[in-house]
């Protein structure tokens, strides 16, 4: 495994170095991107974060409305409030996971990684909360489920761009939702108006862990042609 594939890279705030890292080949960034939950408490410079967010909003969005917003959280009290929500949700979700799949070594590794993030959440230097402006539903009006899919689907390409930018510059990143299980509490923590919905949360920091290639199921198992269970590449 090469240094470019594995990381971690040292922290930087130098604009030229940030731009150099962002020249990483797209295939390499995509193939070696993974969830990196263990990160250092060292600060992430605003210039690095801003550059990643500039690339995030280059993503496509439904009807090009760009009705997204990103709340950057550095305040220790706000992070502690999200940590409390995370621990409350994880105590239930993690307990179920351990009972159902705790004997599986791969699942056990993931659970251990999540537990580290839960235990050290306040120490993570920066959280990014992607949000959508304008709710997906008209009050009291029945709407098909595709409305929700279209609404929330408009921000996830930007989230993926953020994750890829973080990978390229060497920041550890993950996409999580458990701290937002109570949207009421999330709104209170961030002082969000009712017209703004928190969608997910991306913790960022210089990594303790590393990036690298990972196991994925082959497309022969996953691709269906014209109808379900017709696998052209099996």
**For the segment 90-144, what is each residue's pLDDT rounded down to a tens digit?**
998 888 877 777 678 888 888 999 999 999 999 999 999 999 998 655 656 677 8
d(CA 28, CA 180): 31
- Residue 107 sits at φ, ψ, to 5 deg, of -65, -40
CA nearest to 171, candidates 209, 136, 218: 209
Q: What is the pTM of this model?
A: 0.92
pLDDT at position 156 is 96
What's the confidence (pLDDT) of residue 3? 55
The mean predicted confidence, pLDDT, of the chain is 91
List domains and CATH numbers for the chain. Answer: 3-222 (3.40.109.10)
Give residue 209's pLDDT: 76
Give pLDDT tens digits for 213-226: 888 999 999 999 99
């Amino acid at each position: 495994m090469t240094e470019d594939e594995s990381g971690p890279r040292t922290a930087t705030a130098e604009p030229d170095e940030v731009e150099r890292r962002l020249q990483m080949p797209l295939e390499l960034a995509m193939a070696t991107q993974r969830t990196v939950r263990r990160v250092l408490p060292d600060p992430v410079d605003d210039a690095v974060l801003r550059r990643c967010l500039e690339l995030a909003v280059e993503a496509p969005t439904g009807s090009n409305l760009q009705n997204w917003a990103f709340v950057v959280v550095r305040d220790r009290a706000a992070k502690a409030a999200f940590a409390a929500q995370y621990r409350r949700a994880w105590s239930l979700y993690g307990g179920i996971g351990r009972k159902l799949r705790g004997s599986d070594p791969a699942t056990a590794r993931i659970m251990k990684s999540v537990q580290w993030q839960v235990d050290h959440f306040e120490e993570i230097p920066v959280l990014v909360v992607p949000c959508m402006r304008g709710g997906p539903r008209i009050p009291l009006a029945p709407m098909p489920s595709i409305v929700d899919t279209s609404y929330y689907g408009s921000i996830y390409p930007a989230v993926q761009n953020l994750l890829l930018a973080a990978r390229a510059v060497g920041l550890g990143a993950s996409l999580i939702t458990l701290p937002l299980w109570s949207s009421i509490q999330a709104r209170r923590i961030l002082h969000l108006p009712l017209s703004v919905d928190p969608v997910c949360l991306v913790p960022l920091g210089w990594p303790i862990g590393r990036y690298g290639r990972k196991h994925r199921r082959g497309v022969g198992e996953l691709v269906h042609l014209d109808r379900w269970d017709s696998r052209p590449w099996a």
